[in-house]
Structure 1
Amino acid sequence: MLLRFLWAGLMAGLLAGVPTAAIQYVTTTPLILHAEAYEHADPAGHAALSGGENHLGGQIIPAGFILAHSAAPEAGADANWAPNDGLERTLYTSVATIITTIGYAFMLLAAMFLAGDKISPRTGLLWGLAGFAATGLAPALGLGPELPGAASAGLISRQIWWITTAVLTAGGLWMILRISSALAICIGVVLMAVPHLIGAPHPALLTSAVPSELAANFAASSLVLHAILWVLAGISVGFMWQRGERQADL
Structure 2
Amino acid sequence: MLARILSVGLLAGLVAGLLVAALQQVTTTPLIIAAEAFETKAPAPSHADARKADDHGAHEHDEGWKPADGLPRFFYTSLATVVTAIGLALVLLAAMVAAGERIDERHAIAWAIAGFVAFGLAPAAGLAPELPGSAAGDLVARQIWWVGTACATAIAIWMFLKTEKALFRVLALAVLVAPHVIGAPQPHELESRAPAEFAARFAALSLAVQACLWLLVGIAVGLLWPRLAPKPAT
Q: What TM-score, normalized to structure 1?
A: 0.83
User: Which of 230, 242, 247 lines up with 2:214 in the alignment?
Assistant: 230
**Which residues in structure 2 correspond to 1:47-126 (within 5 Å)?**
77-78=61-62, 80-126=64-110
Which residue in 1 is equivalent to 2:113? 129
Deviation at 1:3, TM superposition (A): 1.2
Matched, 1:239 2:214: no
| 2:20 equivalent in structure 1 | 20
CA–CA distance in 2 between the matches of 1:173 and 1:162? 16
Q: CA deviation at 1:76?
A: 8.1
Q: 1:109 to 1:41 in 2, by over 3 A?
A: same
| Matched letter for residue 183 of structure 1 | L
CA shift in 2, pair 1:145/1:243, >3 Å:
same
Q: 2:126 aligns with which of 142, 150, 166?
A: 142
Residue 205 of structure 1 corresponds to 189
d(CA) in 1 for partners of 2:60 and 2:180? 43
CA displacement, residues 195-223 of structure 1 (integer Å, 9 cap, x when unaligned): 00000110122111111111100000000
Query: What is the one-letter code of the residue matched to 2:200?
Result: A
CA distance in 2, matches of 1:76, 1:231: 42
Please tell me the root mean square deviation across aligned C-alpha atoms, in Å.
1.8
The residue type equivalent to 2:14 in the other structure is: L
Query: Which amino acid in 2 is paired with 1:104?
Result: L
What is the rounded CA distance, in whole Å, between the counterparts of 2:153 and 2:4 in structure 1?
Answer: 30
Paired with 1:34 and 1:28, the residues of 2 have a C-alpha distance of 10
- For 1:176, the equivalent position in structure 2 comes to 160
Partner Cα distance (1:158, 1:139) in 2: 10
Q: Counterpart in 2 of 1:248?
A: 231
Tell me the residue number matched to 2:50: none
Per chain length, whose mean CA-contact separation is higher, i.e. which structure has more relative contact order (CA < 8 Å, sep 6+)? 2
Residue identity in the other structure for 1:248: K
| 1:140-180 per-position Cα deviation (integer Å, ceiling 9, x unaligned) | 11111110011110110110100000000000000001233
Deviations along 1:74-133, whole A, 9 cap, x unmatched? Answer: 788555333222211210111010000000000100111111111011111100100000
Tell me, what secondary structure is at the counterpart of 2:25?
Answer: helix
Instruction: Choose the corresponding residue for 2:145, options 154, 161, 168.
Output: 161
CA distance in 2, matches of 1:109, 1:135: 16
Tell me, which stretches of 5 or more residues in structure 1 are unaligned? 45-73
> Shift in Å at residue 248 of structure 1?
2.2
| 4+ aligned runs moved over 4 Å, structure 1 | 74-79
> Could you say what secondary structure the match of 1:26 adopts?
coil
Which residue is equivalent to 1:67? Answer: none
Which position in structure 2 is the counterpart of 1:30? 30
Give yes or no for the alignment of 1:10 onto 2:10: yes
Number of matched pairs = 220
Offset at 1:33? 0.6
Tell me, in whole angstroms, the C-alpha distance in 2 between the residues paired with 1:78 and 1:182: 56
